[in-house]
Amino acid sequence: MNRNENMEATLIAHCGTSKVTREELIEIPVPEATRTHKPVAHFEVVETLEEALSFRHLKVVRDEYAVSRDGMKMFGVMDLDAEFMDCRFSIGLRNSNDKSMRLAMTAGYRVTVCDNMMFSGDFNPLSHKHTRNLELIDSITIAVDRIQRSFAPIKSQVEMMKALTLNDVIAKLIIYQAFLDKKIKGIPKHLMSVVHKNYFKPEYKEFEDRNLWSLSNAFTSAFKKLKPIRQFQTTARLGTFLTDVEDDLGQELDLYFNINEQNNQNGRESKAGKNIKANLKELSTNGNVVMMPNVNINSNDGINGIPINRESENEDFDIDDAREEMEEEFDEYFDLEEEDEHLEEVIERLEREEAKEEQRLKQVA
């Protein structure tokens, strides 16, 4: 490859069409600091993070990065030498030098069998913006402490997702919520049929069980078709969405048992209630729970009126976050990726099944 071809390959990588190496991050220029804004080199963030991890005896065994067209925004993921249940803990990170978003990190994991990456939630900003008061080492050290403390909850969450069994209607309606109700912001609709296929016709036998874990990996497998930065962003939002779904399903399970207990007192215990109790009894010896098979997920109101992916009412308005959302909504609107030719058919089928499920629940009530 000649010099011009090398330059072209580097340019393509920096345009966000492919991932870049850590060494290539060094070549990305950093804007000059101003009185109120202090840019931080992407490479410096990565090196500081790795050093903070080493002090906690955590080693980076693999890392990958992607940058925006102008090199101002960077997303990355570091896989660590800490494993659990066929997964490896990882850390997602982001940085920007154009004031579009804060330096932020999130905990996550990578699934060994399929190389899917998953984050436990959206990126959490560090304590400071890119101001002259930003102490990079101190801020990253605090962030690493928080991330390491989240490893145990992540492991418990994976165990819970594997224990939450889903019937086909529920799985389809969760997919419906994610795409058509836009519970995951910025997710391209043409991936809806890909997620559907990944879940109901899984490529790996490890995901043949009908549970929330298999559905999660159906999403993350589909996200591999996205450009790197879009993949990082959407994967982080998926973590928040599935956490809310899991919480709502748990609340729905408790509510169902309360209603079923009242019916039982009147001698009217439902067949579904008997099945749930039988499954729960069987799984309780392993400390697991099972999701009830009949849940009303409405496309407008969420799960039995409980909205999915709820936003905090007390969250402070931040102009940087608002600017970031505007840019992402612009990218989503002008997304030129081809729509799947079977999307309309999938949507119609999901709507028919949702209507049937709502009618059935009304008859049961």
> Are 306 and 251 contacting, i.e. CB atoms less than 8 angstroms apart?
yes
Place of tokens 């609340």: 251
Residue 137, C-beta contacts closer than 8 angstroms, at least 6 positions apart: 48, 52
Q: Residue 6 corresponds to which amino acid?
A: N
Per-residue pLDDT reduced to its tens digit, 127-174: 556 666 578 888 899 999 999 999 999 999 999 899 888 989 889 999
Give pTM, 2 decimals. Answer: 0.67
Residue 232 three-state SS: helix
> Are 68 and 86 contacting, i.e. CB atoms less than 8 angstroms apart?
no
Instruction: Grade residue 67 by pLDDT with cuts at 50, 70 and 90.
Output: very high
Residue 278, C-beta contacts closer than 8 angstroms, at least 6 positions apart: none
Tokens read off for 349:
């089928």
Which of the residue ranges 57-71, 243-257, 294-308 has the most confident prediction, judged by mean pLDDT? 57-71
Per-residue pLDDT reduced to its tens digit, 306-329: 444 434 344 444 555 555 555 555
